[in-house]
């Protein structure tokens, strides 16, 4: 059945259809301005969440105290990052910003020291325990004890710590390791770079040194920090 195009409207009754010449209601102003502050707050919160996800986590990533870890893997602990090579050995540690804060020690330190073989070996931290360096395998390698771990490494760390005095800061504290071959667990060279405030770089051999060479290297480290306007102050060896 076809409906008529027009229908008669009973007297006194209004049509539900709009009249052809009826006034169009005005367009309401947009409601965005009142909600803009809320949108800005939501955007800021999203940016904070994104930044937090990109930053290394504080809680230490678990790892066994074994000779070889996951190959070519990056671990996170205490806002630091640690990388292994394709053989699963620690090869780099990075603290984007140093903090003068002590971390707990673990039994893994002595275990790693024993892997150095006979002689004076320690399980040395790449990022010192006194800089909140975690005591897990990815932050520990066999280091010559008195001269390197407790000697030259400590001298660099004391210098970096002196740069933290007052309102000082140390950024980009990076430790890179070089191994003589694919099997050796003890690196033969340790390279430390940092910004405090100028850029400093130290290449340390991981071997027993003649007394004169050891003293000369110590003096060179001290002078580098003095030129960076950081006065090296000696800290107890146990803080390493």
Question: Measuring CA to CA, how many Å separate 73 from each of 25, 67, 87, 207?
Answer: 65, 15, 10, 27
- pLDDT tens, position by position, 78-124: 999 999 999 999 999 999 999 999 998 999 999 999 999 999 999 99
Kindly give the interhelix angle for 211-227 and 153-162, rounded to the nearest 10 degrees.
Answer: 20
Q: How far is C-alpha 185 from the geometric centre of its chain's CA atoms?
A: 24
Q: What are residue 161's DSSP bridge partners? A: none
Q: What is the pLDDT of residue 51?
A: 44
Q: What is the pLDDT of residue 167?
A: 82
Tokens, residue 78? 């205490």
Contact 125, 235 (CB under 8 A): no
CA distance 132 to 155: 17
Q: Could you give the domains of the chain?
A: 57-239 (3.40.570)
Task: Collapse the DSSP code of 110 into the 3-class scheme (helix H, G, I; strand E, B; otherwise coil) and give the result.
Answer: helix
> Which residue positions in the chain have pLDDT lower than 70?
1-56, 233-240
Q: What is the pLDDT of residue 194?
A: 98
Q: What is the pLDDT of residue 44?
A: 47
Q: What is the pLDDT of residue 48?
A: 43
Q: pTM of the entire structure?
A: 0.75
Q: What is the pLDDT of residue 57?
A: 72
CA distance 70 to 62: 11
Tokens, residue 77? 């602990």
CA distance 228 to 124: 26
Closest by CA to 196, choosing from 107, 112, 116, 98, is 98
Q: What is the pLDDT of residue 52?
A: 44
Q: What is the pLDDT of residue 40?
A: 52
Q: What is the DSSP string of 34-97?
A: HHHHHHHHHHHHHHHHHHHHHSPPSSPPP--S-S--STT-EEEETTEEEEE-TTS-EEEEEEEE
Q: What is the pLDDT of residue 24?
A: 52
């Amino acid at each position: 059945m076809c409906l008529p195009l027009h229908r008669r409207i009973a007297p006194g009754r209004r049509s539900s259809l709009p009249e052809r010449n009826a006034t169009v209601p005005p367009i309401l102003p947009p409601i965005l301005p009142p909600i803009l502050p809320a949108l800005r707050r939501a955007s800021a919160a999203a940016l904070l969440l994104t930044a937090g996800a990109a930053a290394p986590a504080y809680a230490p990533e678990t790892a066994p105290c074994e000779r070889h870890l996951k190959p070519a893997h990056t671990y996170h602990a205490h806002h630091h990052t640690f990388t292994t090579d394709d053989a699963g050995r620690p090869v780099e540690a990075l603290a984007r910003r140093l903090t003068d804060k002590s971390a707990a020690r673990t039994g893994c330190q002595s275990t790693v020291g024993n892997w150095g073989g006979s002689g004076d070996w320690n399980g040395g931290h790449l990022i010192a325990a006194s800089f909140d360096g975690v005591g897990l395998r990815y932050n520990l390698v066999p280091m010559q004890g008195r001269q390197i771990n407790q000697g030259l490494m400590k001298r660099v760390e004391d210098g970096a710590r002196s740069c933290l005095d007052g309102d000082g800061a140390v950024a980009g504290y990076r430790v890179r390791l070089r191994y003589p071959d694919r099997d050796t667990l003890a690196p033969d060279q340790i390279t430390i770079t940092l910004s405090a405030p100028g850029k400093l770089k130290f290449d340390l051999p991981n071997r027993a040194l003649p007394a004169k060479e050891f003293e000369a290297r110590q003096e060179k480290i001290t002078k580098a920090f003095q030129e960076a306007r950081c006065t090296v102050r000696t800290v107890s060896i146990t803080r390493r």
